[in-house]
A and B are shown apart, each in its own frame.
Chain A
C-alpha cells in the first residue's frame, strides 16, 4: 500500500491501542486496588463492572469544560496536547512481534525515551498555566522529579545496549533468544548486569510515571490533583489517559529490555512467531503483569517526600547507574 496509507493505518491502530489500553487499565486499576483494599471495585455497570470505564469516558466527554478566567489561555489549552501527543508517539517503536512494530527504528530505545521526555514539559506547562498555587507546586515538583530521573533511566539501559550491540528494540528482543547452558533463558533479567540495571530502571520508571510511591506532583492528599486540579472534562481525560498510556509504554519497554519481549522461555523464536497472534498476546500479557505489579505497589506504599526523592536520584541512583555503565563497559570489552 502507499506510504501515506501505511502511516495512517499505523496511526489509527496505535491510537486504537492507546484508547483500548486506557479503558482496560482504568478498569483494572479500580478492580485491583479495590480487591487489595478488601472491597469490590466497580460491580454494577456491565458484567462485574466491565462497562464502568465506558461510562466514565462518556461522562468525561459530556462534562462541561470549565476554563477558569485567570489562566494563561494558550498554555492552558496546549498543556494536555503536550502531554498526550508524546504518549501516543512513544508507541511507535515498541516491538509487539518480530514483524509488527509501527516503525522499525535502529535507535528505537533512544527515540522512545526522547519522546517521553516531552511529557514533563507538558506537566510543567499545565501547572503553570492553571493560575493556582497548588497546581504550580505540582508542576514544579514534576519538573524537578521527572526531568531529573531521565538521567538514571537512560543510563541504566546503557549496559543493555552495550551487551546487545544495538539500540533497536527489535534487535534487543532478538538478542534475548536462546538459553544459557540450556537452563536459564537469555533474558537480561537473568544476567547479573541486567538485574542491576533492572533495579535502577524499575525505580526510575516509577518516578517517570508519577506512580506511588513517587507521585508527588499529583499527591492526592496534599495537592488534591496537583497539576491537573484546574482541568475538567476531556482535557482532564487527556491528561489522565496519557498517564495510563505512559504506564503501559514503560512497562512494555521494561518487558522488551529485560523479559524477552514477545518471546517465551525455552521455546525458539520461530516457533513463537509461527503461531499467528501469539507473540502479540505474550507481549501484552507480560506488559500487563508489569502493570499489575505497579498497581500492587501503588496500593501499598506511602509517598516519598520531594527532597528525599531528589536525594535518592542525584546522590544514589545516578552514581550507581554511572558505576554500572563503567562496570558493564569493562566487562563487555574484557570478556566479550
Chain B
C-alpha cells in the first residue's frame, strides 16, 4: 500500500515542474532571461486555505512569473464534511438541515432542491400559498447572498466601506428571515410538501419597510463600487469566459448568463411560483468580471421586484400539503434542480422506498466554475486572480460538501 502522503507532492503543479510561459498577454512585456548571465525562475505560490480573499478554504497553487500567472491549480477538500454520506442516514425532513450547510449563503435554495426531489418522487402537490412563500423566501435569500458577494468583492479590492454597507442591508433581510423561519442562516424552513409554518403576522409591514429603502441603498452600492473608475479599471476585461466554453464546463447561473447564454432554471423549468411572477433575466455579452458584476446587480433589482410582487399577491391557503410524518418515497430516482444564487443547484435522489435516501448527489454549481478557473487564470496578474475568484462567487461549502 503506497503512502498517500507521498503522492500529494507529486501531483499537479508541483510535479509537472515549471511551465513554459505562453505568449505574453497584451500590455505585458517580459524581461528577457539570460541577460548578463542572470536567469529568471517562476515561483509557485500557495494561495493557501487561510487567506483573506479565497471565499472559504480554497487552496490555489499559482505559478507566477513575477506578477503574471502562468499556471494555476485549485486544491479543494478543506471543508469536506461528508454531506452526501450523512444524507443517507437522515430522514427526508432532516436532509434539509444538511443542505442548509452546503451552500450556507443560499439555504432556502438548497432545501428547496431536496423538497422538489421528494415531491416529484411522491407526487405531492404543493398548495399555491406554499409555493408563493417559497418564492418569497427564495428571492429574499438571493438578495442576502448577492449582498455578501457585493461586500466581499469590494473588500477584495481593498474598499472596506462597501462591505459594511451591504451588511447593514443584509441585517434587515436576516431579521425578516429570522421572523419567518426562526434562524438567520440555517433556516430549515422549506420541507417536502410546503413550508413548515405560515408567514407570521406583521411580516409584510417589515418587508415593505425594507423594500422602501432598499432601492436607494442599491443605487448607492452601485455608484460606490460600480461607478468607481478605479474599480472599473480593475474589473473590465479580466476573466473572460465565452459562452461556448462556459457551457462546455457546465457553468450555470449568473456566471453563464454574463457570458451570453440565456439559461435560467426559473424560466426554463419553472418551480414554486416563478411561472406566475414577472421578472427579467439579465444576460451579459462579453463574459468578463465586469459583466458578472452587472448581471448580479441587475439580479438584485429583479429579486426586489419579485419580493414586492410576492407580498402584494400572496394568496390564501395552506402552507403545507398533507404529508405523512415520516416520508417514505417510493423506489426510484429523480433529478430536481433550482436556480440558486450561484447557478443550478441540483439533487439527484435515489430512493429504495425507505425513510432515508439511498443515495443523494448534490450538484454544486461553483465546482464547475472552479474547474474553469484553472483554464482562465493563466495570463492574468496576481491581483486579478483575487478579482476573478471574487467575481465568480465560488462557495467552498458547496464545492467540498
**Known A33-B160, A301-B159, A304-B234; contact A224-B52, beta-carbon cutoff 8 A:** yes
Query: Ordered nearest first, which 4 A-B pairs have the shortest CB separation?
Result: A302-B157, A303-B158, A302-B159, A37-B164
Instruction: State the Cβ distance, B249 to closest chain A Cβ, in Å.
Output: 26
Do B384 and A305 have beta carbons less than 8 Å apart? yes
Query: CB within 8 Å of A: which of B158-208?
Result: 158-161, 163-165, 168
Say whether B43 faces chain A, with CB atoms less than 8 Å apart. Answer: yes
Do A221 and B52 have beta carbons less than 8 Å apart? yes
Residues of B contacting A307 with CB < 8 Å?
27-28, 67, 381
Say whether A52 faces chain B, with CB atoms less than 8 Å apart. Answer: no
User: Looking at the complex, which of B12-20, B223-231, B258-266, B285-293 is the stretch in contact with chain A?
Assistant: B223-231
Say whether A39 faces chain B, with CB atoms less than 8 Å apart. Answer: yes
Do A304 and B161 have beta carbons less than 8 Å apart? no
Query: CB within 8 Å of A: which of B126-179?
Result: 154-161, 163-165, 168
Besides A212-B158, A301-B158, 10 more A-B contacts (Cβ < 8 Å) are A37-B161, A37-B165, A137-B67, A213-B158, A222-B156, A300-B161, A302-B228, A302-B231, A306-B381, A308-B234
Residues of A contacting B51 with CB < 8 Å?
224
Minimum CB distance partner of A144 in chain B = B67
Minimum CB distance partner of B52 in chain A = A221
Do A222 and B234 have beta carbons less than 8 Å apart? no
Residues of A contacting B231 with CB < 8 Å?
302
**Known A134-B45, A302-B228; contact A221-B161, beta-carbon cutoff 8 A:** no
Minimum CB distance partner of B390 in chain A = A221
Do A300 and B159 have beta carbons less than 8 Å apart? yes
CA distance A299 to B160 in the complex (A): 6
CA distance A308 to B168 in the complex (A): 32
Instruction: State the Cβ distance, A127 to closest chain B Cβ, in Å.
Output: 13
Do A37 and B160 have beta carbons less than 8 Å apart? yes
Say whether A208 faces chain B, with CB atoms less than 8 Å apart. Answer: no
Minimum CB distance partner of B155 in chain A = A221
Give how many B residues have a beta carbon under 8 Å from the other chain's beta carbons: 34
Residues of A contacting B230 with CB < 8 Å?
213, 301-304
Q: Which of B53, B231, B383 has the most CB of A within 10 A?
A: B383
Do A299 and B161 have beta carbons less than 8 Å apart? yes
Say whether B124 faces chain A, with CB atoms less than 8 Å apart. Answer: no
Say whether A99 faces chain B, with CB atoms less than 8 Å apart. Answer: no
Instruction: State the Cβ distance, A307 to closest chain B Cβ, in Å.
Output: 6
Give a binary string over A188-221; 1 marks a CB under 8 Å from any B CB, 0 the rest: 0000000000000000000000001101100111
Residues of B contacting A222 with CB < 8 Å?
52-53, 156, 382-383, 386
Residues of B contacting A38 with CB < 8 Å?
164-165, 168
CA distance A136 to B310 in the complex (A): 54
Do B154 and A302 have beta carbons less than 8 Å apart? yes
Instruction: State the Cβ distance, A230 to closest chain B Cβ, in Å.
Output: 15
Residues of A contacting B160 with CB < 8 Å?
33, 37, 299
Instruction: State the Cβ distance, B213 to closest chain A Cβ, in Å.
Output: 14
CA distance A33 to B161 in the complex (A): 8
Would you give 23 A-B contacts (Cβ < 8 Å), ordered by A? Answer: A37-B161, A37-B164, A38-B168, A39-B164, A134-B45, A213-B230, A215-B158, A216-B383, A220-B52, A221-B52, A221-B157, A222-B156, A222-B386, A224-B51, A299-B160, A300-B161, A300-B224, A302-B154, A302-B158, A302-B228, A304-B233, A305-B234, A307-B381
CA distance A220 to B157 in the complex (A): 9
Instruction: State the Cβ distance, A133 to closest chain B Cβ, in Å.
Output: 5
Instruction: State the Cβ distance, B317 to closest chain A Cβ, in Å.
Output: 41
Query: CB within 8 Å of B: which of A126-180?
Result: 133-134, 137, 140
Minimum CB distance partner of B158 in chain A = A303
Say whether A293 faces chain B, with CB atoms less than 8 Å apart. Answer: no
CA distance A300 to B135 in the complex (A): 35
Residues of B contacting A37 with CB < 8 Å?
160-161, 163-165
Say whether A114 faces chain B, with CB atoms less than 8 Å apart. Answer: no
Say whether A289 faces chain B, with CB atoms less than 8 Å apart. Answer: no
CA distance A304 to B158 in the complex (A): 9
Say whether A58 faces chain B, with CB atoms less than 8 Å apart. Answer: no
Say whether A54 faces chain B, with CB atoms less than 8 Å apart. Answer: no
CA distance A299 to B225 in the complex (A): 12
Residues of A contacting B382 with CB < 8 Å?
137, 222
Do B234 and A302 have beta carbons less than 8 Å apart? yes
**Known A137-B67, A304-B234, A307-B381; contact A219-B164, beta-carbon cutoff 8 A:** no
Minimum CB distance partner of A305 in chain B = B383
Residues of B contacting A33 with CB < 8 Å?
160
CA distance A80 to B386 in the complex (A): 29
Minimum CB distance partner of A136 in chain B = B43
Instruction: State the Cβ distance, A70 to closest chain B Cβ, in Å.
Output: 15
Residues of B contacting A133 with CB < 8 Å?
43, 45-46
Residues of A contacting B234 with CB < 8 Å?
302-305, 308
CA distance A308 to B236 in the complex (A): 13
Minimum CB distance partner of A39 in chain B = B164
CA distance A134 to B66 in the complex (A): 12
Do B161 and A303 have beta carbons less than 8 Å apart? no
Query: CB within 8 Å of B: which of A31-83?
Result: 33, 36-39
CA distance A168 to B381 in the complex (A): 43
